[in-house]
Chains A and B, each alone.
Chain A
Amino acid sequence: MVARVYDTPAEALEGIEDGISLMIGGFVTAGLPTNLLEALFERGTRGITAITNALNSDTVLDRMCEAGRVDGLVATFAIRASSGKKSHFETLYRAGKVTLEMVPQGTFAERIRAGGAGIAGFLTRTGVGTPLAEGKLEMEVDGETYLLVRGLTADVAFIRAHRADTLGNLVYRRAARNFNPLMATAAGLVIAEVDEIVEPGAIEPEQVHTPAIFVDRMVQAPALPVSWDG
């Protein structure tokens, strides 16, 4: 099915209901689909399980937590080891009002890749002997201990790319790629916000990072600045 182009981020969210699991691309300031997140916040959607690399304070996702829209988080980075600025998420987590599944970053990326590729799970040495191995099946292969980790999919993915053609072929800019092309493969409904939308053929086939088959909806929206207090 050919991707549909919407005029505004808000319109690109048509039909999105409460209670979704939502993958959100991006790494710190790079490649965050901030326009879609702002529109989702405006929309008032609740009961979200967010699957994203990191939750930082002073971000739209943390404001969504503060507003009670988020039930749970699957992430690699959510609570700081240093007692710096505390996120709303951390306050809610400590009060038992949101759940957190902490995942090592390489395992997080591979779970999404696997989920999008129809692979139920994989074996990794990452995390063996640590608290993050709890509840996971250990398997020994050729004398080495591995954890069995499940693939991960979501109802919806928000991603950010640089260029798209009207079919949905995507090109990412610099380090804004990160988790975006993985999440594009792993959700039932994939919505991309992009800097510009061009005609088919304007992107060289060799240059396509995410083939159009993975993208359902697109909206042109310039990147919003992302605050980072690292």
Chain B
Amino acid sequence: MQRPQGLTRELMAMRVAQEFEDGMTVNLGIGLPTLVSSFLPEGRRVTLQSENGILGFGGISDGDFDQDLINAGGQPITLLPGASFCDSATSFGMIRGGHIDIAVLGGLQMSETGDLANWFVPARGGGSVGGAMDLAVGARKLIVVMEHTTREGEARILRECTYPLTGQGCVDLVVTDLAVIDVTPDGLVLREVAPGVTSEQVAALTDAPLRVPNSVAEMRL
């Protein structure tokens, strides 16, 4: 089957940002999740936390580079009024202690029970864990954002991950270029499809069993 054209990275980031509710504190992982900070929903107060010890930053800075003011991906950032700095133990206390409402992480694979693999690439024989394992177990809600399939067209949403895990049963929601899928106690449930994509196409490109309700909404972007 021809793989349907999915969302761009920007549109995936925009869809993730819609999950943020007024008053939430959010941690955005490295890579695609970082893009989400450019699409924060208007009218909602969302506080961004970075695991290198920053609470309340604005977005990516295009001003003069200050090497002491960077996010976890090493990118320069701006500060908002009321921002604070802390050491890394306090920062991960926020994360592990359940004080972060939502973490957004990239993914390589996830399973039907919400296991996540996102740090080690077997084909390359390498990878680094950073703060991903702490975010996976510690955030109150974990959203994974990733392409629905690999570049070779292989499914990333599987019955069981074949890559080394980041965490077990930790994913609550996955946003891909094709769909939004909830991880529930009864398995994966399709919530939305991307414009121009059908539920059948999503199910065909998902290895794990996927429950498809009678009516599946199209993503509003």
Task: Enumerate chain A interface residues (CB-CB to B < 8 A).
Answer: 27-31, 53-54, 75-83, 90, 94, 102-110, 112-113, 124-132, 172-182, 223, 225-226, 228, 230
Picked from B67, B126, B132, B165, the residue with its CB within 8 Å of the CB of A129 is B165
The answer to whether B127 and A80 have CB atoms under 8 Å apart is yes
The answer to whether A77 and B129 have CB atoms under 8 Å apart is yes
Task: Enumerate chain B interface residues (CB-CB to A < 8 A).
Answer: 50-54, 66-70, 72-75, 85-89, 91-92, 95-96, 115, 119-121, 124-134, 137-138, 164-168
The answer to whether A126 and B133 have CB atoms under 8 Å apart is yes
The answer to whether B70 and A175 have CB atoms under 8 Å apart is yes
Distance A90 CA – B125 CA, assembled complex (angstroms): 11
The answer to whether B67 and A225 have CB atoms under 8 Å apart is yes
Picked from A28, A108, A125, A130, the residue with its CB within 8 Å of the CB of B70 is A28
A sample of 25 inter-chain contacts (CB < 8 A) reads A28-B52, A30-B70, A31-B68, A54-B128, A75-B128, A77-B129, A79-B126, A80-B127, A80-B128, A81-B127, A81-B128, A102-B129, A105-B130, A107-B134, A109-B92, A125-B96, A125-B137, A129-B168, A130-B165, A130-B168, A174-B66, A177-B53, A177-B86, A179-B88, A223-B67
- Kindly provide the distance from the CB of B63 to the nearest chain A CB, expressed in whole angstroms: 14
The answer to whether B164 and A175 have CB atoms under 8 Å apart is no
Q: 3 tightest A-B contacts by CB?
A: A106-B92, A106-B134, A29-B67
Chain B minimum-CB-distance residue to A81? B127
Distance A60 CA – B68 CA, assembled complex (angstroms): 18
Picked from A104, A110, A174, A180, the residue with its CB within 8 Å of the CB of B131 is A104
Contacts known (A110-B92, A177-B86); A30 close to B68, Cβ less than 8 A: yes
- Kindly provide the distance from the CB of B35 to the nearest chain A CB, expressed in whole angstroms: 15
The answer to whether B126 and A90 have CB atoms under 8 Å apart is yes
- Kindly provide the distance from the CB of B139 to the nearest chain A CB, expressed in whole angstroms: 12
Distance A226 CA – B119 CA, assembled complex (angstroms): 25
Q: Considering residues B67, B73, B121, which has the most beta carbons from chain A within 10 angstroms of its beta carbon?
A: B67
The answer to whether A113 and B85 have CB atoms under 8 Å apart is no
The answer to whether A78 and B89 have CB atoms under 8 Å apart is no
Inside 8 A of B128's CB, which chain A residues have their CB?
54, 75-81, 102
The answer to whether A130 and B89 have CB atoms under 8 Å apart is no
Q: Considering residues A77, A105, A113, A174, which has the most beta carbons from chain B within 10 angstroms of its beta carbon?
A: A105
The answer to whether A30 and B129 have CB atoms under 8 Å apart is no
Q: A130-B166, A178-B53 are in contact. List 4 more A-B contacts (CB 8 A).
A: A105-B92, A130-B164, A174-B68, A175-B69
Distance A79 CA – B120 CA, assembled complex (angstroms): 9
Distance A112 CA – B92 CA, assembled complex (angstroms): 13
- Kindly provide the distance from the CB of B144 to the nearest chain A CB, expressed in whole angstroms: 15
Chain B minimum-CB-distance residue to A79? B126
The answer to whether A106 and B87 have CB atoms under 8 Å apart is no
Distance A75 CA – B46 CA, assembled complex (angstroms): 31
Picked from A131, A173, A178, A230, the residue with its CB within 8 Å of the CB of B75 is A230
Distance A132 CA – B167 CA, assembled complex (angstroms): 11
Inside 8 A of A173's CB, which chain B residues have their CB?
68
The answer to whether B88 and A105 have CB atoms under 8 Å apart is yes
Distance A182 CA – B90 CA, assembled complex (angstroms): 10
Chain A minimum-CB-distance residue to B91? A109
Picked from A53, A81, A179, the residue with its CB within 8 Å of the CB of B124 is A81
The answer to whether B89 and A110 have CB atoms under 8 Å apart is yes
Inside 8 A of B67's CB, which chain A residues have their CB?
29-30, 223, 225-226
Distance A107 CA – B133 CA, assembled complex (angstroms): 9
Inside 8 A of A107's CB, which chain B residues have their CB?
133-134
Distance A30 CA – B67 CA, assembled complex (angstroms): 5
Inside 8 A of B119's CB, which chain A residues have their CB?
81
Inside 8 A of B91's CB, which chain A residues have their CB?
109
Distance A201 CA – B147 CA, assembled complex (angstroms): 56
Picked from B54, B73, B96, the residue with its CB within 8 Å of the CB of A126 is B96
Contacts known (A110-B92, A177-B53); A104 close to B68, Cβ less than 8 A: no
Distance A223 CA – B69 CA, assembled complex (angstroms): 14
